[in-house]
Amino acid sequence: MFVAAFPDAIRKLDPRTLWRNPVMFIVEIGAVWASVLAIKDPSWFAWMIVFWLWLTVIFANMAEAVAEGRGKAQADTLRKAKTDTVARLLNGWQPGGTGIEEAVPAPQLQQGDYVVVEAGQIIPGDGDVVEGIASVDESAITGESAPVIRESGGDRSAVTGGTQVLSDRIVVKITQKPGQSFIDRMIALVEGANRQKTPNEIALNILLAALTIIFVFAVATLQPLAIFAKANNPGVPDTAALDGNGVTGIVMVSLLVCLIPTTIGALLSAIGIAGMDRLVQRNVLAMSGRAVEAAGDVNTLLLDKTGTITLGNRQASDFIPVESISGDELADAAQMSSLADETPEGRSIVVFAKREFGLRERTPGELSHAKWVEFSAQTRMSGVDLGSGHRLRKGAATAVADWVRAEGGIVPPQLGQIVDGVSASGGTPLVVGQVLGGKASVLGVIHLKDVVKAGMRERFDEMRRMGIRTVMITGDNPLTAKAIADEAGVDDFLAEATPEDKLALIKKEQAGGKLVAMTGDGTNDAPALAQADVGVAMNTGTSAAKEAGNMVDLDSDPTKLIEIVEIGKQLLITRGALTTFSIANDIAKYFAIIPAMFVALFPGLDLLNIMRLHSPQSAILSAVIFNAIIIVALIPLSLRGVKYRPASASKLLSRNLSVYGLGGIIAPFVGIKLVDLIIQFLPGMS
């Protein structure tokens, strides 16, 4: 990676590029000035200093080039997906119509155009499916080989240009602008070409620039100080640090480079790029570095219950018969009424009856005489008519109870207690009723339970230790919502939530000075995603949701929001740790260079020369060499990131100060001394 990045590091020496990094721009100016002085008054010492000053700038550029290079492999893969497809444009298409088909190059498609794509063809641009349903291969984008279903309407209508339709036929409405497709944006982002500095990064750059300016003035005052001191001490011999007129220019540049925060100045951009790269490795596309940074500062997480906290498919967990009805009788009726129910809940009822009551598995084909009644929103029931007046129904408690009464039956008083008990425990009650021999009756209740994903409580405990409040959002009633929230371990919940409720909750949290993160996939989630500080849209969702959010999860895994927060915190911690290390580094460099420069003038400074370096020349050169090498040594850490452990802010600060603060002080003492032992035998180091 270093070898591959070296040409880019050389190209980044261009002042028009480097001026964006004030610290390293000053170092480059210093290297140029030192080169001029070395040409004017050449010496082995001067040219060694010049060589390592230029290496310092190159190593700083190398950090950024390596970070950008990590995204090029993924960018190359994305470019392969970005083929020059010929689109089948439908002119004058209307829903239910055909339109006049015209073949046009995909780059010429405009927003609002309609195209038709059939099995084996490449989708020519980003858009929404407005007609049809198809199996789509998105492996070029997500890396996942399993095909996905995209269909018109609902929250799984968005398709990405460059993916392939495997079956059927769909009509797609193009939502992208020319040259601004999803793949185009991904390529630019993973390569770092469109990376904008975040507010915290800009603030830190301003701080580093201010420190650099202060040190420029501080170092500039050393020349008149040295001249004045020599004038009052004419017997002091010239050294590598002092000449007849004061401090040599080479030494002044060396001192400036060693005292300004070059380490963090060199690594700051790489840390930001690496943070976005870690998200890309997890198939999350951040639309800006600001979003990654905001994720690290999030105070409140809004999480959908279904698919995030729970598995998303309710499972049958119990059959509760009413009085005078046996469990076997209820199980048989529940299984029979669910045979044609292809929903996950219906299949779970069939499996539960077979597993717990030993009923053999039956299929709708065995009951050729039966008439199956599908579920509808109006009746809120489904079931089967078996003939000879035997009918079974399964559905919502009130719907089945009303059906039993309408058939002349009586609803037992205990049914309400059973239903309320199931709801209070966080489950969903389905009531089973039948008509047999002209008599209608209630058989019992099926307890459907939302299954909380394994390990969710532990993850929420981690969030709590990080100081993050978790809020579960669900459309369930408050009783069910509370039961699930208690089981999962979230801090709060919002029941019977509407899009307006989500938006109001986000605004309320933000009004209290908190940063909010949430996930969503539907058009009705778009306002909340746009309002949230970190809005993670699912790739399977609508284009409106993806445009509203500032991150897109290519895997469409809602639980990944928790990982995104951890990556954001790791970014902030890495930046803080290396800033602490860099500033602490400067303390040791004072002890290396200042005594070496002025010990001849002020013998008392020898007390500060605790490293006992070989000579003033070797002390200065050792500090410059260490200053360059430490940048290279820290590049892997800046790319990998400091390991994050959930803890409070005070504990994280204490750990940073003890590990990186103290380490930043000790490491230069050891490093500079080792370099001094190696270079003391070079010419001119006596």
DSSP for 324-369, written as a single string: T--HHHHHHHHHHHHTT--SHHHHHHHHHHHHHH-PPP--GGG-TT
- Is 518 domain-assigned? yes
> Is the per-residue pLDDT at 193 higher than 50?
no
Residue 559 scores a pLDDT above 80: no
pLDDT tens digits for range 434-486? 999 889 999 999 998 877 777 888 888 888 887 888 898 887 778 778 888 88
Neighbours of 29 (CB within 10 A): 16
- 531 located within any domain: yes
226 vs 173, higher pLDDT: 173
Q: Is 521 within any annotated ligand binding site? A: yes
| Residue among 226, 208, 217, 210 nearest 256 (CA) | 217
pLDDT exceeds cutoff 90 at 568: no
Contacts of 130 (CB under 8 A, 6+ apart): 95, 114, 152, 157, 171, 172, 173
**How far apart, in Å, are the Cα atoms of 89 and each of 177, 357, 529?**
15, 57, 32
Do the annotations mark residue 137 as ligand-binding?
Answer: no
Looking at residue 282, what is its pLDDT? 82
Helices 249-259 and 22-40, axial angle in degrees (round to 10): 160
* 470 and 487 share one domain: yes
Spatial distance between the Cα atoms of 386 and 367, rounded to a whole number of angstroms: 8
> Are residues 471 and 498 part of one domain?
yes
139 is in an annotated binding site: no
- Contact 515/299 with Cβ under 8 angstroms? yes
3-state secondary structure of 134: strand
- In this structure, are 61 and 197 located in the same domain? yes
Q: Looking at residue 107, what is its pLDDT?
A: 78
Give pLDDT, residue 194.
Answer: 47
Instruction: Look at residue 284 and tell me whether its pLDDT is greater than 50.
Output: yes
Residue 371 counted as domain residue: yes
* Judgement on whether residues 65 and 95 belong to the same structural domain of the protein: no
End-of-domain residue from the set 407, 432, 451? 451
Tell me: do 354 and 228 sit in the same domain: no
**CA distances, 230 to each of 225, 602, 617 (Å):** 9, 10, 19
304 is catalytic: yes
Most confident of 173-182, 196-205, 651-660: 651-660
Catalytic residue among 304, 450, 557, 676: 304
- The whole-number pLDDT of residue 361 equals 63
- CATH number, domain with residue 539: 3.40.50.1000
Q: What confidence tier does 240 reach under pLDDT thresholds 50, 70, 90? A: very low
Both 524 and 546 in one domain: the answer is: yes
Distance CA 594, CA 254 (A): 11
Q: What is the mean pLDDT of residues 559-577?
A: 85
Which spans in 84-236 are helix H? 139-142, 182-190, 199-220, 222-232
136-182 pLDDT tens trace? 887 766 655 567 788 887 667 888 887 888 888 899 988 877 766 66
| Of 219-228, 257-266, 324-333, the least confident | 219-228
Q: What is the mean pLDDT of the chain?
A: 81
Structure-model confidence comparison of residues 100 and 524, the more confident one:
100
Residue 78 pLDDT: 59
The 10 Å Cβ neighbour count of residue 259 is 24
- DSSP for 521-544 reads -SGGGHHHHHHSSEEEEETTS-HH
Q: How large a percentage of the chain has pLDDT more than 90?
A: 10
**CATH number for 94:** 2.70.150.10
Same structural domain, 327 and 436: yes
Whether the predicted pLDDT of 370 surpasses 90:
no
**Is 80 assigned to a binding site?**
no
Structural domain includes residue 182: no
Is residue 196 scored above 80 in pLDDT? no
- In tens, the pLDDT along 381-434 reads 888 998 888 999 998 889 899 999 999 999 998 998 999 888 877 778 899 999
Is residue 608 scored above 50 in pLDDT? yes
240/398 Cα distance (integer angstroms): 95
- What is the C-alpha to C-alpha distance for residues 506 and 334, in angstroms, rounded to an integer? 42
* Residue 648 marked in a binding site: no
Quote the pLDDT of residue 392: 92
Confidence of residue 56 (pLDDT cuts 50, 70, 90): very high
Spatial CA neighbour of 519 closest among 494, 492, 550:
550
- Same domain, yes or no: 584 and 481: no
**Is the confidence at residue 228, as pLDDT, over 80?**
no
439 annotated to bind ligand? no
Q: What is the pLDDT of residue 266?
A: 87
Is 335 among the domain residues? yes
Q: 380 a known binding residue?
A: yes
Same domain, 64 and 210: yes
Contact 138, 160 (CB under 8 A): yes
pLDDT tens track for 340-364:
777 778 888 888 888 888 877 666 6
State the pLDDT at residue 241.
Answer: 52
Q: Say if 561 falls within a structural domain.
A: no
Residue 157 tokens read as 């209508």
**What is the chain's Cα-based Rg?**
35
Give the confidence band of 629 by pLDDT, cuts at 50, 70, 90: very high
Q: Are residues 497 and 363 located together in one domain of the fold?
A: no
Most confident of 128-132, 176-180, 519-523, 556-560: 128-132
pLDDT at 423: 80
Residue 77 lies in a domain: no
223 is annotated as contributing to ligand binding: no
Mean pLDDT score, 636-662: 80
Whether 173 has a binding-site annotation, put simply, is: no
Average pLDDT over residues 563-582: 87
C-alpha 649 chain-centroid distance: 21
**Which of 554, 579, 595 is the last residue in one of the domains?**
554
State the total domains in the chain. 4
Report CA torsion sign: 323, 326, 332, 338: positive
Q: Is the model's pLDDT at 51 over the cut of 90? A: yes
CA distance 106 to 81: 13
Domain end marker among 429, 451, 473: 451
pLDDT of residue 229: 65
Indicate if the pLDDT at residue 281 is higher than 60.
yes
The alpha carbon of 608 is separated from its chain's Cα centroid by a whole number of angstroms, namely 47
Residue ranges making up the domain that contains 158: 86-123+126-175
Residue appearing with tokens 């198939």: 283
Of 349, 348, 203, 174, give the one whose Cα is nearest residue 272: 203
Residue among 610, 582, 583 at smallest CA distance from 595: 610
pLDDT band at 36 (very low <50, low <70, confident <90, very high): very high
Q: Is residue 560 part of a domain?
A: no
Place of tokens 């200093």: 49
End-to-end CA distance of the chain: 38
CA–CA separation, 172 and 126 (whole Å): 9
CA 573 – CA 620 distance, rounded (Å) = 32
Report the alpha-carbon angle 486-487-489, nearest 5. 65
- pLDDT at position 339: 81
**% of the chain surpassing 70 pLDDT:** 85
375 is in an annotated binding site: yes
Looking at the structure, tell me whether residues 351 and 382 fall in a common domain: yes
Tell me, what's the pLDDT at 544?
74
Ranked by mean pLDDT, which of 95-99, 242-246, 552-556 comes out on top?
552-556
Q: Are residues 413 and 387 in the same domain?
A: yes
